[in-house]
Amino acid sequence: MSMILMALAMAATASPDAVVGRWKTETRNGIVEITRCGASLCGKILGSDGLTANPALKDTNNKDEKLRGRALKGLQILGGFSFEDGVWDKGTIYNAEDGKTYGARITPVDANTLKLRGCIFVPLCKNQTWTRVR
């Protein structure tokens, strides 16, 4: 069986709670905690290189001027997902670096790896691999 088919088979049998936990992002040593929010998921920023240097960092790049004073630590950046066929889809991810929110999908690869896709609209997407933090 090819690696792609194995990954798809694993995703199809993944539990909805497989994504719950703390995850390290590919960039800036970000740590995001994903929890269940009713039938959906929520994810908030726990830490990053920037927060280590300055724990009081604010959401200064937000497109909405009224939100630029909110703290990055504890900020919810994931939400609105629905679970189907082993994938959390139709959610959103907020990128504090550019102040924009993107359509998102979270696919569990294995117990310690998630694939995240954020899109302006398909096919204009970026992908990241997040790894579980113990």
Q: Residue ranges per domain, the chain?
A: 3-133
pLDDT in tens, 27-86: 999 999 999 999 999 999 999 999 999 999 999 999 999 999 999 999 999 999 999 999
CA angle 11, 30, 37 (to 5 degrees): 55
Mean pLDDT of the chain: 91
CB atoms within 10 A of CB 100: 14
Fold (CATH) for 3-133: Lipocalin (2.40.128)
- pLDDT for 3 equals 53
Q: Which residues contact 32 (CB under 8 A, 6 or more apart)?
A: 22, 23, 25, 43, 44, 45, 46, 77, 78, 130
Q: Give the pLDDT confidence score for residue 134 in this predicted structure.
A: 80
pTM comes to 0.87
pLDDT at 77: 98
Name 94's bridge partners: 101
How much is the pLDDT for 123?
A: 86
Asked if the model's pLDDT at residue 125 lies above 50, the reply is: yes
